[in-house]
Structure 1
């Protein structure tokens, strides 16, 4: 950028550079808008400098040029110039909207929201794995799902920052930025098909995180290119000579594998550099789909193709829209040679992804049709259900894929190793929930059958089914399938908590001589909401049901102590005085009781007292042994407000039998969460799963709920249930 531009007098030089990149002259009105945006950005960034010591305006100018290389529309290029203006310069989004229009303001606003997210945390020293806040990633996905231009500007912003990352003096911050780029932004660039940006982001991140490995690999790659130059030229001449015989328009270029891609292949497959055979390939670019297939036939007549190494991504594009033909041949030198064949349109799409639609003048509406953006908009609820980093990372990175066909001939992309359950959920969530079996290529297959590329799959649906089984998690390979199954059970559990809480509230209101509606509409309800810091009756029911608000706590809030004597008597028998302080029987404390071992109630459970020959037993109100007890032998019971004891419960943990380390992890988790283990046994189960039967001491229902949720987060644990309880 010239000194004339940097002094802020005008942005004409920038316009000329953008025109040079675009290859055509911009209309006068658009030139004026770019100049106005430049001058606005320069004025507000005037006193700011980058880590390199250069004026800050260098950065938004560079971002606008990257966007021009992507052939972005005018609004996006202007948004690139202004993308830091709201975050760094105290300029309101309304001012941007007034000066530059809705489109620019909406893009800048979306980029600002993403920039404000704290996407990374410190590295976990024990596991050395990259951590990030799941909630912030969800927000980022939502921000970009409505307008793809938001993430394209953010990718351009990140690319320029990575190109200048050497100026960041703090080594820890450099590595955090590189980690964030490698784990979040590069996978997103891949997902929307902008490989031109993806490859550069990956290689710069690789260089920053692993400088020694980067230098060593680059040196080996340069040597390999020198060694292979003459032989690749020979292959190019042979192919060119043969294709000219058929009068097909084409051009041939070399494709060199990027360093990070080579390194990941070496580490993932434990291979040496000399064992990677697709370092260099030929790429043939032609005019039409038909010509692509003609060229495929011609090169196969030159050299024999390797079986299983022919991939038709034209008939079945990748999930990010990538289209091309790939084939690997054995040449006359007896070595493998990869050739990619694509049309000019496919080539632009492979380089620019969704941004290629700008090249075709199809605009934002066509960009939104990208399969991944459509999935984001349709599955916002699904994104919200991801509760761990690994599931979100898999969704971002995609990984190896296969395609399978529906009975109507449509194809569905699934992760490698996917089963028919994954296919069912990919068609529709409700079809997945009512899955009853599957036919693959007209034959019924077992639930653990791994689908293969090209399989034709038909799902058998049971409309009467109440929903999925937790066992399905053992067979689901797709992170989205697992998230949908877990979300079903979470919603089911939440509904059960709501129902239980409503029942508790109904019984309490009956004691007070009111209907539930009267209570909810009374001034007392306002006091309850304020006391427990909740917003609605639904929150109250839920917290009552899960036990985080106990019945006695609610009663004390509704009925002040001086009025408690007015509560109706519910005791209908002579009660023996004793030392028990855990529960109130008919509003009285100090009564001898014992806790039923069939259900092991804990504070927070809705309870009932049962009169028996042995004395008064306290049961969980939902205990199956209570159902047939006559009403005259039942007494109302509530937990006392002052409880310091621990209570015995029994939980069963199902886990993968192949990983016995889960046992010690479960025991450790009990200790960390403050539960005392009385005893436990481990027994062999079916379908490759064992189960632990554990008796533990807990404080109350909230404590137990927290422990069980913590156990469910352990890798290898498939199910955690409470015996005699509803959690």
Structure 2
């Protein structure tokens, strides 16, 4: 553990103007506040924040960040408050400490919700000051280094999984590859101990049997480049054990079949020398086709710049070579932290963290903890492709991204209005996976909107969040509309006139904010007709049985306005029910009855139309619904249970389509009237089994 004077000397070495007294006071403060607290290793607890501060000095960060690292656990784990921190160390440090501190109010939440809320706060704090992220990553790295001291294996695995899924990719997304690799290695050891032991054992065996082969190859590369007139530094290493394991898993191959276990790094003085070195290497050894990547001309979104190539060395050995300048190397290893001094001058590389803005944008669209965690994992996913607009603008997307993902990455409005696309000039389906270098043109529609079915193929968090937000808003509007219709039906059947005063009284009795909240509650089946009637006029529904509004329909259909001796049928295209506005289309003595808004009426000669209405004695017809169920066990049973609970008889049930996520059914049900059918749709939409329900 760093002693007090050692930490101060480290900071003063790269920042002579640092406030030595303030640093000393912060060190003493954390020691005093953590007192006799112990870590699982048995070390004093304050050793952890001191080591995190030491990691920050390795990155040469400013004194406020060093002090934040020293204090980052005081508010969470001691009696200190944010107000105490602000009083002693200033508002900037207090804000940074608050950004890193976990929310105490969520400690009783389920594990996934607690993780989601911590991430939400971290991302919001990151959007205001990225130093929060740097301290958080150093905090997680040191915790991973001491993870083996935790005796509970389940807890170790949970922390390792969270590190692998969130924090290691997050480190990669801001270019801190040193942190990413060490986090992955430590998490891999906990999550796959047998695979870790096997791979590290094989690597040790290779080192012992092949002696200095890595050094020998590095020397040959340096000599070849020197003969080509390029001054370089060359270093070699074996591939990262987790990287080897992931490649084995993705390719379904054994360790012996991994041919490019060795990797070499070439550091030059200039960008021009990088390309000269590449030419020399390709002249000296054969390159492997398809393995060359130029991240200098097209950097990764986190600012990573380098040339990557794979060569066939002697005896058909494959080796990977990365070529970059010294400046690129520091940025590549420490990413955002390497740029902090420039950012403080106001000309920092804001573009490399532009993805953060998208992440912040979708935070408030997540409906629950699972969705937030899903968005976070998607937004920091590391494997990327490049695609272009027709005008040449470049966008980076995850592998597997589709034109819909591309459209939303360009602009949310473009994604929402997409109806088709061209990829490299050819019309293609919106679900087509994009390849590296594709030119994508999005075709817009004037009145189009995001479709629920897109969720089955989009892969970016921004697209998924926007689609879900649109679908939820559409469902909300439709639910409110249904609620309004049901409310008007209830009011029409009441024996007295219902005015604004009665409505305001009902809102107060039901503890609802406004009319819209009432319509949503009615439309989503949270309130029954009896509840609404009783709230409007207390005592008016006291004598009614619970099922008085939910009677099973009869099958008697009677119409007014029919010619004498005419026969009629209810159209199969729109399935009218009592309560719909209807019109008849005459064909000889036969009349076909349609709803007034049926699309097929536009194809009929309006001179054959007959104005019809329902006879009040009509008390039943068959409506047709299209219901999209989540594709999981028991959802079909839940749907039929909704019909049974609402006294509706199923006359037809057919499966239209099915994929991994959804199954779409057409369901014919006997209902009493339009209000009964509307209630049925409302009840379906309130079910967790149902993704979407509409009248056909």
Asked if 2 retains the 8 angstrom alpha-carbon contact of 1:79 and 1:108, the reply is yes
Q: Equivalent residue of 1:456, what SS?
A: strand
Query: In the TM superposition, what whole-angstrom CA distance separates every residue of 1:394-451 from its partner, at most 9, and x where no partner exists?
Result: 4155143210111222211122233322222221121112213222333333444432
| TM score, norm. by length of structure 2 | 0.80
Query: In the TM superposition, what whole-angstrom CA distance separates every residue of 1:448-503 from its partner, at most 9, and x where no partner exists?
Result: 443221122222222x2231344444553445323322322221111112233345
| TM score, norm. by length of structure 1 | 0.77
| In structure 1, distance between residues paired with 2:530 and 2:578 | 16
The residue that corresponds to 2:71 in the other structure is: 82
The residue that corresponds to 2:14 in the other structure is: 24
- Among candidates 370, 382, 393, match of residue 410 of structure 1: 393
Alignment of 1:401 with 2:384, yes or no, is: yes
Name the Cα RMSD after superposition: 4.2
Q: Which moved more, 1:101-110 or 1:409-418?
A: 409-418
Asked if 2 retains the 8 angstrom alpha-carbon contact of 1:405 and 1:457, the reply is yes
Asked if 2 retains the 8 angstrom alpha-carbon contact of 1:111 and 1:150, the reply is yes
Asked if 1 retains the 8 angstrom alpha-carbon contact of 2:31 and 2:46, the reply is yes
Structure 2 gaps of 5+ residues are: 563-567, 569-575, 583-593, 598-610, 671-676
| In structure 1, distance between residues paired with 2:529 and 2:498 | 16
Q: CA separation of 1:309/1:77 partners in 2, compared to 1, >3 Å: closer, same or farther?
A: same
Q: Equivalent residue of 1:113, what SS?
A: coil
The residue that corresponds to 1:641 in the other structure is: none
Q: Equivalent residue of 1:254, what SS?
A: strand
| In structure 2, distance between residues paired with 1:301 and 1:164 | 47
| In structure 2, distance between residues paired with 1:425 and 1:233 | 48
Query: In the TM superposition, what whole-angstrom CA distance separates every residue of 1:239-271 from its partner, at most 9, and x where no partner exists?
Result: 212322454443111243222222222223221
Q: Equivalent residue of 1:355, what SS?
A: helix
- Among candidates 421, 425, 439, match of residue 438 of structure 1: 421
Q: Matches of residues 423-502 of structure 1 in structure 2 within 5 Å?
A: 423-462=406-445, 464-502=446-484
- Among candidates 671, 675, 684, match of residue 704 of structure 1: 684
Alignment of 1:594 with 2:553, yes or no, is: yes
Q: Equivalent residue of 2:522, what SS?
A: helix
Alignment of 1:721 with 2:680, yes or no, is: no
Deviation at 1:35, TM superposition (A): 0.6
Asked if 1 retains the 8 angstrom alpha-carbon contact of 2:126 and 2:133, the reply is yes
The residue that corresponds to 1:41 in the other structure is: 30
Q: CA separation of 1:409/1:264 partners in 2, compared to 1, >3 Å: closer, same or farther?
A: same
Asked if 1 retains the 8 angstrom alpha-carbon contact of 2:483 and 2:520, the reply is yes
Alignment of 1:91 with 2:72, yes or no, is: no
Asked if 2 retains the 8 angstrom alpha-carbon contact of 1:317 and 1:323, the reply is yes
- Among candidates 22, 40, 50, match of residue 51 of structure 1: 40
Structure 1 gaps of 5+ residues are: 6-10, 123-129, 566-578, 599-608, 638-646, 657-661, 713-719
| In structure 2, distance between residues paired with 1:653 and 1:597 | 26
Deviation at 1:96, TM superposition (A): 1.0
| In structure 2, distance between residues paired with 1:498 and 1:190 | 44
- Among candidates 321, 329, 335, match of residue 303 of structure 2: 321
The residue that corresponds to 1:642 in the other structure is: none
| In structure 2, distance between residues paired with 1:131 and 1:679 | 42
Query: In the TM superposition, what whole-angstrom CA distance separates every residue of 1:21-60 from its partner, at most 9, and x where no partner exists?
Result: xx53633x52211111111111211132222222211111
Q: CA separation of 1:357/1:133 partners in 2, compared to 1, >3 Å: closer, same or farther?
A: closer
Deviation at 1:214, TM superposition (A): 1.7
Q: Matches of residues 546-557 of structure 1 in structure 2 within 5 Å?
A: 546-557=524-535
| In structure 1, distance between residues paired with 2:118 and 2:560 | 54
The residue that corresponds to 2:516 in the other structure is: 538
| In structure 1, distance between residues paired with 2:556 and 2:347 | 63
Q: Matches of residues 118-517 of structure 1 in structure 2 within 5 Å?
A: 134=116, 137-228=119-210, 230-360=212-342, 362=344, 366=348, 369=351, 370-382=353-365, 388=371, 391-392=374-375, 394-462=377-445, 464-505=446-487, 513=497, 515-516=499-500
Q: Equivalent residue of 2:14, what SS?
A: coil
Q: Which moved more, 1:102-111 or 1:248-257?
A: 248-257
Q: Which moved more, 1:68-77 or 1:113-122?
A: 113-122
Asked if 1 retains the 8 angstrom alpha-carbon contact of 2:295 and 2:305, the reply is yes
Deviation at 1:542, TM superposition (A): 1.6
Q: CA separation of 1:710/1:287 partners in 2, compared to 1, >3 Å: closer, same or farther?
A: farther
Q: Equivalent residue of 2:267, what SS?
A: strand
Deviation at 1:237, TM superposition (A): 2.2
Q: Which moved more, 1:143-152 or 1:223-232?
A: 223-232
